[in-house]
Structure 1
Amino acid sequence: MLAAVALLAGCTIAPPRTDDPLEKFNRKMYGFNDALDRAVIRPVAVGYRKVTNPPVRRSIGDFFTNIRMPITIGNDLLQARPIHALRNTGRMLINLTVGIGGFFDPATKMGLPLENTDFGVTLARWGLPEGDYLVLPFFGPSTVRDMWRIPVDGYFFNPLSRYARHHDFKAGQYYLPELIYLISERSRAMDAEDFLKSAYDPYVFMRDAYRQRRLYLIYDGNPPANVIEKLQGLDENGYDPEQLLDEQRQWEKQHQGENPATAPPAY
């Protein structure tokens, strides 16, 4: 770990890309994930919300947020950010003790706000290019670079995964915490569903929202203006926002009544 930290001391941040060459495949995977969500995952999340109240859901969410803090702490070290690692370790310990096992979040009130990072951000801070935008079955939005956070964070840093992996039970009950975590996260996402429903193309909305969120994670919430312009395509020759808006309106007229998740936009 210390050797990796030394190697990362001089790392640079890779700029994002704006193209989507895998769009045809991505839209199919988006449609698959959306169908799976509507058929199985969302109904379970709806049932979860019916049998719990907001304080209970908040406590469960706080517990899982805290128990997964080793993911952030481990990647803080890989990113050569020892101060962040110490601060997040302190936050985790405070919530485990004063916060009664992590079901409450006194650390935030004590001036230790939640910080999230992962192995995808670590690779970006190494300077590894983002690669193509990629929608993974079951996992959702990602990139060629970010997809590595799933096995690395899950195998090395996620306590829930490590606990389940090192225990054996006939009916697989040790995977129950991971399942509850996923249901809790899906329940929290229901509050943002109206934004997705109002989008003329949910696939594009999700893609751009994901890219923007990752960009702000990489730059600690303050990405340079030129990087934002590159993400939005403003740096491309011949960029005309009025033309783009006109193409969007034409696409909407041509595809009225279609499912925008599976129909590619005009641009």
Structure 2
Amino acid sequence: MPSLKCSPALIRHATLLLAVSYLVGCSSPAPVASARCAQVDYPVFDPAQRVNRGIFAFNKAVDDYALAPVARGYRHLPNVFQQGVHNFTTNFAEPKVFVNDLLQGNLKRSANTLGRFTVNTTLGLVGLIDVSDPMGIPRHTADFGQTFGVWGIGNGPIVELPLLGTGNARDAAGRVLGLAFNPFGNNSDSLQTLATTSLVGGVIDQRAELLPLTDSLQKLPDYYSALRDVVAEHRAAFVLEGKQGSTQPEKDRCQGATRDGF
């Protein structure tokens, strides 16, 4: 009887399916305070709400029974392990941030990202240790949805995609492009293994980080609209951050303003 062997491509595809499920409507809404600090407008146009709610119910079931339980278990692991996973996965994502910095025409941000990736990959043992923050090189994020927004592309209607979650049409297109884009290429089995490891670790780490927010939103009468509006608010602030081109994330500047009494 022939033995069963999983090809690297099959493993990557299965992992990708798990990865996108963490977006089950979350779409990175963690830095909500940054949007409020920036006082941005975040119009919500949801003409297909009935269809979106149906897909949202499916996404929520996937999250409730698959990813969220894993994320809750992950939060009980030693902090040093969680920090190492966080550092490694965020460092591995820096090349995509770098590409978007360049596409946004921001040389300062791209130089900042390249410096972080170089230092953390070498001195930080492939990114397991974040040595850039103590050196005064703060991390910011960027993605294709933000880049489209910086280019002036409008939000479009709200779109709830199976496994990809809630977002406007512009960000949904950017999310799909981001999943397909591989800055490292596919020529090295070692890089593919690292990419798969980073993908799985990043999914679990980010979902664990979002648990307090999603748990609080689920207590509200309408989880769908609450999460949709939080995502819209955050993404509006995120696009504004890209347009401003600061190397210091908006949420950090907001916290600084709060401490200074503004």
**What is the TM-score with the length of structure 2 in the denominator?**
0.69
The residue type equivalent to 1:27 in the other structure is R
In the TM superposition, what is the alpha-carbon distance from 1:145 to its structure 2 partner? 0.7
- Mapped contact 2:42–2:233 kept (Cα < 8 A): no
The answer to which of 145-154 and 15-24 deviates more is 15-24
> Which one of the candidate residues 174, 179, 182 is aligned to 1:154?
179
> Which one of the candidate residues 103, 121, 127 is aligned to 1:102?
127
> Which one of the candidate residues 100, 107, 122 is aligned to 2:147?
122
In the TM superposition, what is the alpha-carbon distance from 1:204 to its structure 2 partner? 1.3
- Mapped contact 1:124–1:218 kept (Cα < 8 A): yes
Among all aligned residue pairs of Structure 1 and Structure 2, give the percentage whose two residues are the same amino acid: 28
Structure 1 residue 217 and structure 2 residue 243: aligned? no
Q: Which runs of 5 or more structure 1 residues have no equivalent in the other structure?
A: 1-14, 224-267
CA deviation map 1:128-184 (0-9, x unaligned): 1110011111111221111122332233345598868x969xxxx974542232122
- Give the RMSD, CA atoms, in angstroms: 2.9
- Mapped contact 1:130–1:145 kept (Cα < 8 A): yes
CA deviation map 1:70-116 (0-9, x unaligned): 11110111111111101111011121122221112221122221111
Show structure 1 runs of 4+ deviating over 4 A: 157-164
Structure 1 residue 136 and structure 2 residue 157: aligned? no
Query: How far apart, in 1, do the equivalents of 2:188 and 2:65 lie?
Result: 29
What SS does the corresponding residue of 1:220 show, helix, strand or coil?
helix
> Which one of the candidate residues 70, 75, 97 is aligned to 1:49?
75
In the TM superposition, what is the alpha-carbon distance from 1:195 to its structure 2 partner? 2.0
Change (3 A) 1:194 1:36: closer
Q: Which runs of 5 or more structure 2 residues have no equivalent in the other structure?
A: 1-40, 245-262
Change (3 A) 1:177 1:89: closer
1:34 corresponds to: 60
What SS does the corresponding residue of 1:145 show, helix, strand or coil?
helix
- Mapped contact 2:155–2:170 kept (Cα < 8 A): yes
What SS does the corresponding residue of 2:160 show, helix, strand or coil?
strand
1:180 corresponds to: 201
> Which one of the candidate residues 184, 189, 195 is aligned to 2:216?
195
2:15 corresponds to: none
In the TM superposition, what is the alpha-carbon distance from 1:222 to its structure 2 partner? 9.2
Change (3 A) 1:18 1:188: closer
Query: How far apart, in 1, do the equivalents of 2:64 and 2:206 lie?
Result: 15
Higher relative contact order (CA 8 A, sep 6+): 2
Q: Which has the larger radius of gyration?
A: 1
> Which one of the candidate residues 136, 144, 167 is aligned to 1:111?
136
The answer to which of 189-198 and 72-81 deviates more is 189-198
What SS does the corresponding residue of 1:83 show, helix, strand or coil?
helix
Query: How far apart, in 2, do the equivalents of 1:174 and 1:82 lie?
Result: 26
Change (3 A) 1:203 1:195: same
What SS does the corresponding residue of 1:108 show, helix, strand or coil?
coil
What SS does the corresponding residue of 1:112 show, helix, strand or coil?
coil
Query: How far apart, in 2, do the equivalents of 1:104 and 1:159 lie?
Result: 21
Structure 1 residue 68 and structure 2 residue 89: aligned? no
Query: How far apart, in 2, do the equivalents of 1:35 and 1:163 lie?
Result: 36
- Mapped contact 1:131–1:145 kept (Cα < 8 A): yes
What SS does the corresponding residue of 1:106 show, helix, strand or coil?
coil
Change (3 A) 1:163 1:48: farther
Change (3 A) 1:140 1:221: same
Query: How far apart, in 1, do the equivalents of 2:200 and 2:186 lie?
Result: 11
- Mapped contact 1:67–1:159 kept (Cα < 8 A): no
- Mapped contact 2:120–2:130 kept (Cα < 8 A): yes
Query: How far apart, in 1, do the equivalents of 2:61 and 2:115 lie?
Result: 41
2:114 corresponds to: 89
Query: How far apart, in 2, do the equivalents of 1:66 and 1:167 lie?
Result: 15
The residue type equivalent to 1:196 in the other structure is L
